[in-house]
Amino acid sequence: MWRSDYRRIASGRGHFGDFDPFGDFDLLFGAAKLNLKIVEVPIRYRQRMYGETNISRFAHGWVLLKMSARAAAKLFFIA
């Protein structure tokens, strides 16, 4: 991602709402809104060697699902 693209995404951050706890959906939805090319890069996750996860699967999963629904509505149904 180019710096200029990130600045354009950051300037339109309020379009989808400001409740992305992780920031990844913010980048994806912003890139989709700007018609930027999105590619999938495989990542191999490994078991955590120390500490505990900071992510709550169900609570944060519910937030991310609501964000996806809101973004789909704004990207595909609302101009």
Q: What is the pLDDT of residue 3?
A: 95
Q: Which tokens belong to 42?
A: 């495989």
- Rounded distance between C-alpha atoms, residue 6 and residue 3, angstroms: 5
pTM over 0.85: no
Predicted confidence (pLDDT) per residue in 24-60, tens digit: 888 888 898 899 999 999 989 888 888 887 788 888 8
